[in-house]
Amino acid sequence: MGHELLEHTADLGLRGWGPSVEAAVAEALLGLADLMGVHAVGHGETHEVRGQGQDDGSRLVALMNETIFVVETRPIRIVGVWVRRDGDDLLAELEFVGSDEPGEGIGVKAATYHQLAVDERPDGSAEVRVFLDV
């Protein structure tokens, strides 16, 4: 499992991978928190965000955009992310702690559909790629 930034001429990309689509999406969301400078350690409250869409790619974009909204509208730091299926939707549980300081990372406007990919392998492991408008 893991995540990394992907270079692009105009935006930034994230790649997440893990033993399942849900785990890969969770890694991508942690990568988003790293990028925005709001990833922390500790234990805190939880908040659910729902990714709805026609497929796992559109659900990933929806989860990313909902997470960006939560981070931009609440003074928090994300300490953990768990993703599970809820019917056709992806549901992310964000664990967070309050913070008086703004994130020290890059401002992210939105997740995009540019070069979006959700690749599930025959063994069930998966990799996701999403580019962000910064």
pLDDT in tens, the chain (134 residues): 878 777 666 688 899 999 999 999 999 999 999 999 999 988 999 999 999 999 999 999 999 999 999 999 988 999 999 999 999 999 999 999 998 877 788 889 999 998 999 999 999 999 999 999 98
Looking at residue 9, its pLDDT comes to 64
Distances (CA, A) of 82 to 29, 102, 103, 115: 9, 23, 21, 24
SS3 33: helix
- Residue 103's pLDDT is 73
Domains of the chain: 2-133 (3.55.10.10)
* pTM, to two decimals: 0.89
What integer pLDDT is reported at residue 1 of this predicted model? 81
Q: What's the half-sphere exposure (Cβ side, CA atoms, 13 Å) at 29?
A: 37
Structure confidence at residue 104 (pLDDT): 82
Residue 94: how many CB atoms within 10 A of its CB? Answer: 25
**What's the confidence (pLDDT) of residue 45?**
92
Identify how many contiguous H helices and E strands the chain contains and give both numbers. 2, 8
Sequence letter at residue 61: V
